[in-house]
Structure 1
Amino acid sequence: MLIRHKLLLWFTLLVLGLQLGFSAFVYYFAAITRAQRFELRLTNSATLAGRLLLPLLKGEAGNRGRLRRDDLLTLPREEISIYGPDGLLRYSSADHIDEATNRARLAGLGAGQQLRYPARGVQEIIGLAYPRGATTGYYRIFVAAEDRAGRAQQRRLGLLLVLANVGGLLLTVAAGWFFAGVVLRPVARISRQAGRISAASLGQRLSEGNGRDELAQLARVFNLMLAGLEQAFEAQKTFLAHASHELRTPLTGLVGTLETGLAYDATLPEARQSMAQSLEAARRLSALTNGLLNLAKVDGALPAFGPVRLDECLHQALRLVRASYPGREWRLAFYNLPTDTEADPFMLPGSAELLTTALLNLLDNAGKHSDGPVRTELGYADAHTLRLRIIDEGPGLTPAELARIYEPLYRAANALSRPGYGLGLPLTQRIIQRHGGRLELTSAPGQGTTATVWLPATPVPV
């Protein structure tokens, strides 16, 4: 269902519910008021009958002949029955009155009481115990009548409320349709603008309207997403360009060496030399391809994490770099470790293989560029965060180089003469991020480089 239709439906149901509730209240209040008003009229009729008829009903038989039954009937279909203190019928305005029911009610109508009884068809009934002197006792007067005017007025009110609700419903639907269109007009505008944006026009941005309401916030978030997509597309283009260049170089060397050897190598030594050059180019191509595959793999689905000891990953990475740089001095220090617990302080959830790869890349970069010892420090930044720092004494990096250091296949000027393809740091950064951590490099020309890694720790009892 369209949002416009949902808004219209909800708005209509809400207003209709309010209308029906208000109409029911008005109708119910009017019905109660009519019933109370007519009950008062019945009471007045009973009182009037008592005042006028009881003096004539003192048991004088001659007085009854002078009464006409319809003398006091002022209400539609009015019926009056009067019973004496002895329970005998003294007066009846009509012969068809259900006196059996009235007699059954005599016992329940106490002295001085006035009771309202269930209606008989359209007739409403009250009973009144009317006093007639201290010695005479109470007379029971029953009056029944039809409230034609009141019920007609109530029917007209009901019809008026029905018509008002139908008209209000139609107006509500029209108003809801109009206001839903007004409210959703900016959404339609954003939809049209977004529909014109494609991969070739990611530089376009959505209008943020007044800049204050929720739709402006939505447009702002969408613009931020577009900016991120534009940046990602640009990074992808740069990555593809660098990858093509890096792959083309060893491929060109490999093909050229093989073609030269096939055309000109006439002796075994010459052929062996061409094969050796081709093998070196193939190894470079294989290393570059593996690096690109690892970078793509870490962006995909990772295996389920388990408990990993970061110090063991660090020791394994140090063992590998010591073998690669036998003349380099590697220093390791631990600091700020918790002393009030028996849990393993270096435990965290993750992948031991990936974390070892990340630490090995950082140590390899430090050993590759440092002219002096490489210091490694492992400890706690706070109660729940492990911090690893790798400090070298290399040539350092400029601010411009630091800004691009995480771009795949980017290499700083001082690294062009050294082995590598510019994939280690991007791969390391993504591994650290996938483990909920953060990698930061600080450097200055001539002052070396410091790589700092923060990772969430989960100490467990040993």
Structure 2
Amino acid sequence: MNIRNKITSLFTVLTGVIILMLSIFIYHFSKRSIDKEFFHRLSVRGGIAAQAHYEGGTLSASLYNEIREKHLQRLPGEREYFFDSIPDKQVLASQNISLPDDIKIQNTRIQFINGKIYHVVLPYLYKGKRYTVLMTARNESGETSMQDIRQNLFLGILLSVIIVFVVGLLFSAEIVNPISNIINRVKKISALNLDMRLPEHSGKGEIVDLTQTFNDMLDRLETSFETQRNFVNKLSHELRTPLTAIIGEAELALDKERNPVEYQQALSVIAREADQLHHLTTSLLELAQAGNSINEEFMGNIRLDEMILSVKKLVDFTDPQNHIHINFEELPDDDAKITVFGNQNLLKLAITNVVQNACKYSDNGKVTVSLRATERQCILIVEDHGIGIPQKELRYIFDPFFRASNTTAYKGYGVGLPLAQKIIRIHRGEIKFTSMEGAGTRAEMRFPIHS
């Protein structure tokens, strides 16, 4: 069932239930009002009948009958019963009168309905003696009125439900049509026309928010597809360059007979380009693997101060000319505040990439690695005083293969920082860069404390 039919059905059912409850309320109080009016008529007739019966000297029977015929319409099935005392069930049974089990005649006025017969019991005091008058009749006019009310209510309910259903269809169409328009528009959007957007309307409301959300998502998708296309183009270029050099050197060496020195030079070029290709493919593999979640089996508690010392040792081995300075002056007394939960190898790879970049782009100038903690986060900061990053290019540093315009003199592939960002995000952390061209760069990595 689609949303439109659901809204219509729900609207119709709820309104129908309300109308039904209101109809039951009207029927119930109409019945009470009709019964009350008929009991009153019976009581009035009972009083007159008692006066005529017991005070015959004052009002003769013939005069009573004349008054009743002229002024009191005789009720259907009307009967009068007079008792000199309070009658019990045996006395009533002798008059073919049956009482419900919960009714007991006492020296008070009683009125009840047994089947379709209305009963009114009236105590009557005459000359110090108490008598009992019982009036019975059938309320045929009331039954007719109630039948008319039932028919009118039924027709009213039926007509109301039909009207509500039609109104519900129009109402739901008014609600759903904007959503249907959005669906039809979205169906037309594919990878070939990601620049298409949903028409936005002024004002506020869920439809406006939904349209804006879809357009924001399309913006992100378009950016993602564009990034992917750029990634493929850059990747093909980065792979083609060393492969072209390797093939060219090999073909040149095989073109004619050469001396050992020339073969050695050709092999050196091939080895150098193959080494670059190896580093590139290794970085790409690490980048792809970092995009997946980490198996809990390979995760554990990691002290970041020990991790920094391990990274320093690794960089000392690969680049002995570095000038890394470690600052632990703000370390907390509680080791738990510098302990994170994660994969040691991946986290070491991410931090190493950031530190090596700082060393490389500062020409092995001073690089400060510091660690501190707040109540909820460990903060690792890497600062250098190197070439910096142009302000306009800072937003692109996490795009694969992106290299700043001032790094052409430095060897690299633009894979290290995207890899570091992915690894840090897997560890529920974040990395931010601030930089000024020609003044240096500051990388701040934040990790949640493992409690």
TM-score of the two chains, using structure 2 as the length reference: 0.90
Distance in structure 1 (CA, Å) of the matches to 2:101 and 2:361: 115
388 and 208 in structure 1: CA distance in 2 versus 1, 3 angstrom threshold: same
User: Which residue of the partner structure matches residue 105 of structure 2?
Assistant: 109
User: Which residue of the partner structure matches residue 316 of structure 2?
Assistant: 322
Distance in structure 1 (CA, Å) of the matches to 2:136 and 2:400: 99
Q: What is the aligned counterpart of 2:369 among 368, 376, 399?
A: 376
81 and 316 in structure 1: CA distance in 2 versus 1, 3 angstrom threshold: same
Identity %: 29
Give the total of aligned pairs: 442
User: Which residue of the partner structure matches residue 75 of structure 2?
Assistant: 75
1:47 aligns with 2:47: yes
1:424 aligns with 2:416: yes
Q: What is the aligned counterpart of 1:129 among 99, 123, 126?
A: 123
Q: What is the aligned counterpart of 1:144 among 121, 136, 142?
A: 136
1:327-366 equivalences under 5 Å are 327-339=321-333, 342=334, 344-366=336-358
CA-CA distance at 1:66 after TM superposition: 12
TM-score of the two chains, using structure 1 as the length reference: 0.88
Distance in structure 2 (CA, Å) of the matches to 1:10 and 1:156: 30
User: Which residue of the partner structure matches residue 311 of structure 1?
Assistant: 305
CA-CA distance at 1:442 after TM superposition: 1.5
1:375-394 equivalences under 5 Å are 375-380=368-373, 382-394=374-386
SS at match of 1:332: strand
User: Which residue of the partner structure matches residue 20 of structure 2?
Assistant: 20
Query: Which stretch shows the higher mean deviation, 44-53 or 305-314?
Result: 305-314
2:52 touches 2:61 (CA, 8 Å); kept in 1?
A: no
Distance in structure 2 (CA, Å) of the matches to 1:298 and 1:125: 91
Distance in structure 1 (CA, Å) of the matches to 2:422 and 2:106: 94
CA-CA distance at 1:85 after TM superposition: 2.6
SS at match of 2:386: coil
Q: Which amino acid aligns with 1:109?
A: I
Query: CA-to-partner distance for each residue in 1:379-419, whole Å, 9 max, x for gaps?
Result: 02x32121111111212221123232222111123432323
1:265 touches 1:271 (CA, 8 Å); kept in 2?
A: no
153 and 289 in structure 1: CA distance in 2 versus 1, 3 angstrom threshold: same
Query: Which stretch shows the higher mean deviation, 391-400 or 157-166?
Result: 391-400
Query: CA-to-partner distance for each residue in 1:155-185, whole Å, 9 max, x for gaps?
Result: 1011000001111111111111112112222
Structure 2 portions without partners, runs of 5+? none
Q: What is the aligned counterpart of 1:233 among 225, 228, 231?
A: 225
User: Which residue of the partner structure matches residue 262 of structure 1?
Assistant: 254
Query: Which stretch shows the higher mean deviation, 310-319 or 239-248?
Result: 310-319
CA-CA distance at 1:272 after TM superposition: 4.5
343 and 33 in structure 1: CA distance in 2 versus 1, 3 angstrom threshold: farther
Structure 1 portions without partners, runs of 5+? none
Q: Which amino acid aligns with 1:114?
A: R
Query: CA-to-partner distance for each residue in 1:23-78, whole Å, 9 max, x for gaps?
Result: 111001111111111121222222122111122499xxxx999999x989821011
Distance in structure 1 (CA, Å) of the matches to 2:386 and 2:445: 19
CA-CA distance at 1:361 after TM superposition: 0.3
SS at match of 1:177: helix
172 and 188 in structure 1: CA distance in 2 versus 1, 3 angstrom threshold: same
SS at match of 2:77: coil
CA-CA distance at 1:269 after TM superposition: 5.2
Query: CA-to-partner distance for each residue in 1:183-233, whole Å, 9 max, x for gaps?
Result: 222112222222222212111211122331210110001111111111111
Distance in structure 2 (CA, Å) of the matches to 1:67 and 1:282: 132
Query: Which stretch shows the higher mean deviation, 260-269 or 42-51?
Result: 260-269
SS at match of 1:128: strand
1:31 touches 1:154 (CA, 8 Å); kept in 2?
A: yes
Q: What is the aligned counterpart of 1:176 among 158, 163, 168?
A: 168
387 and 225 in structure 1: CA distance in 2 versus 1, 3 angstrom threshold: same
Distance in structure 2 (CA, Å) of the matches to 1:406 and 1:164: 69
Distance in structure 1 (CA, Å) of the matches to 2:281 and 2:361: 23
Query: CA-to-partner distance for each residue in 1:321-357, whole Å, 9 max, x for gaps?
Result: 1111212222111244444xx5522112222222111
1:165-244 equivalences under 5 Å are 165-244=157-236
Q: Which amino acid aligns with 1:374?
A: V
2:85 touches 2:130 (CA, 8 Å); kept in 1?
A: yes
Q: Which amino acid aligns with 2:118?
A: E
SS at match of 1:415: coil
SS at match of 1:199: coil
User: Which residue of the partner structure matches residue 98 of structure 1?
Assistant: 96
